[in-house]
Amino acid sequence: MRGKIVIGIAMLSCITNGNLCAQLVDEKTPAEVQPFVNSATGNQWTLNFSDEFEGSVLDASKWNVLESAKSRAPRPDLGINDWWWKSDNVSQANGDLVLRVDKHDYNTMHCGSVNSNNLYETQYGYFEVRMKIADASKGTHTAFWFQGDNMSQVDGTANDGAEIDVFESAWLDDYTKSVVHIDGYGADHQANTIKYSTPDIHDGNYHIWGFHWTESFMDIYYDGAFKVRYANDKWVVRSPEFIWLSNGASFGIAGDYFTNKAVGNLTHAYVDYVRVWKSQSYNTQTELECENLNWTSEATAKVVSHNVASAGKHLKFEAQNPGDEIIFEIPIEQDGHHQVSLQALTWSSFGQYACAIETSAGNWHQMNQTIDLYKAATSLVEQTFDQIELKAGTYKLKFSCVGKNSSSAAYVGSFDKLSIRSTSNVATALDTPGASSVKVYPNPCVGQLQLSGLSRPAEVQVYNVTGALVNKQTAQHQINLSGLNKGYYFLKINNEVFKVRKQ
């Protein structure tokens, strides 16, 4: 028997007092800090990610420093033929992330850019950045934006990802624009652009941008004031994205703003902090590259490059017999209901695998589904396993070989990417979030909705999003929505209104 193999990565989390103590929350972030907004969002927020940029070295577990492989789009109106993201233009000093802009030669600009791709990709929450933009009159623009790994998939919606530009400082007046780009950047590309006012954006001081992202709307705030809402289903992103902070050549002005400057440093952008909160009432999806997780096995496993795999790599588990197993450690960030999906590669020598999760020491909850990895050619396959209720913490997820397809030559397993769909599974009253004793769950639901907190039967009125009454029942413990179409509904119970989604 081969010796046990253990590989670790810093991005996994620790447990403190029963809660998830993620290394992605900066210890320098003030305790109990909340989003900077002029009016409450109605959420109870818990910090999920932060960076205060203290010290002299950028945290490589949170940020990639970008280095352009080729020039980005020229800006002929400014006399900029080529511009590049350069790692030398990114630094950390005096409590700031510093993004420098240089004039490299008479028609070339060098800029700084960082993102959290494959390090921190998440879905929904409140995202906040405090920053001082670079001087836009030097022919540059500063941006706070998001990118989805699958935004190039064409389906006419943002469901599979988008480029979300919270702001780009490409103009010289006190305004900016937000943009949602979908369906890639080719012939199918679509964009939704909204202009909004940003008083004093060019005054050389720090300003705060907030992005409140839910599965039904995306809101943008500037210095605490609400500015923009995207609420049309077509433009609301419903898949994980990563954060991007950058400088670039401006596209909003024309003239000699760049050409009349001397070669050398032009300007800097300064980012004071980045903070991300999750709502205690939530419905999120987290994606984890299997090759980056802690894992153990008594059979050989190795990271293999493959262009079909997510991030170009997958973990190949060289199982020899049924019963061989590989165990991953996965972070569960909040109490609630969680559902794991495995994305894997297929091949002619691959086997079939079952999934189980260790709910407490030595106690494994076996899922009902298995995944068959056999196919004559390489392709991607995905299996979603049972939903399970778990407390926040780090859990062991086990995949056991249960055999092979009759056509397969062996029992090998592929482990590419894990997706964890997490939900609080409770709808709270819209008027007084968290204050009502009545609870409605699971949310989303397939058909049956459970009720708690009612001392006697009550009339439950169900309205669709247009306000039409579509169902009415008298119930105390359970109602049935199986006859309704998929979508969002509002339940009125004892003069309280609850928003639910039927799958």
CATH at residue 473: 2.60.40.3080
Higher pLDDT, 112 or 10: 112
pLDDT tens digit string along 10-25? Answer: 222 222 222 333 468 9
Q: Is residue 181 domain-shared with residue 70, that is, in the same domain?
A: yes
Q: Is the pLDDT of residue 401 over 50?
A: yes
Are 200 and 291 found together in one domain?
no
User: Does residue 312 sit in the same domain as residue 193?
Assistant: no
- Residue 352, domain CATH: 2.60.120.260
Pick the more confident residue, 224 or 455: 224
Instruction: Return the closest-CA partner of residue 306 out of 344, 263, 252, 336.
Output: 344
Q: Which domain holds residue 212?
A: 14-280
Statement to judge: residues 37 and 105 lie in one domain: yes
Q: Which residue has the higher pLDDT, 248 or 442?
A: 248
Q: Is residue 4 part of a domain?
A: no
Which pTM was predicted? 0.61
Q: What is the pLDDT of residues 118-142, one digit of tens each?
A: 999 999 999 999 999 999 999 999 9
At 43, is the pLDDT very low, low, confident or very high (cuts 50, 70, 90)? Answer: confident
- Asked whether residue 353 is assigned to any structural domain, the reply reads yes
| Residue 292 shares a structural domain with residue 354 | yes
Residue 428 inside a domain? The answer is no
Which among 218, 248, 280 is the end of a domain? 280
Verify that 238 and 162 share a domain, yes or no: yes
pLDDT at 429: 61
- Whether omega before 433 lies within 30 degrees of 0, making that bond cis, reads no
pLDDT band at 501; cut points 50, 70, 90:
confident
Does any domain span residue 346?
yes
- In this predicted structure, what is the pLDDT of residue 15? 23
pLDDT tens per residue, range 307-338:
999 999 999 999 999 999 999 999 988 777 88
Query: Which DSSP symbol is given to 264?
Result: E
pLDDT digits (tens, 9 = 90+) for 131-184: 999 999 999 999 999 999 999 999 999 999 999 999 999 999 999 999 999 999
In this structure, is residue 5 part of a structural domain?
no
Residue 112, domain CATH: 2.60.120.200
Distance of CA 123 to the CA centre of its chain: 3
Q: Average model confidence (pLDDT) for the chain?
A: 89
The reply to whether 265 and 361 lie within a common domain is: no
pLDDT: which is higher, 93 or 448? 93
> Residue 429: inside a domain, yes or no?
no
Contact residues for 20 (Cβ-Cβ < 8 A; gap 6+): 13, 331, 332, 333, 334, 392, 393, 394
**Cα dihedral 213, 218, 222, 224 sign:** negative
Residue 407 lies in a domain: yes
% of residues, the chain, pLDDT over 70? 91
Last residue of a domain, one of 220, 251, 280: 280
| Position 198 in a domain | yes
Do 270 and 169 form a contact (C-beta atoms < 8 A)?
A: no
Instruction: Give all strands (DSSP E) within 361-445, no chain letters.
Output: 363-372, 380-390, 393-403, 413-415, 417-423, 439-441
Amino acid 465: pLDDT: 64
pLDDT tens per residue across span 413-468 = 999 999 998 876 556 565 444 446 788 888 778 888 888 888 889 999 998 766 67
pLDDT of 2 higher than 70: no
Q: What is the pLDDT of residue 502?
A: 82
Phi, psi (5° rounding) for residue 290?
A: -60, -40
248 and 99 share a domain? yes
Question: Does one domain contain both 273 and 315?
Answer: no
Q: Are residues 145 and 178 in the same domain?
A: yes
Task: Name which of 271-275, 355-359, 369-373, 426-430 the model is least confident about.
Answer: 426-430
Last residue of a domain, one of 280, 307, 325: 280
For residues 158 and 198, state if they share a domain: yes
Looking at the chain, the whole-number percentage of residues with pLDDT higher than 90 is: 71
Residues 288, 366 within the same domain: yes
Counting the structural domains of the chain, the total is: 3
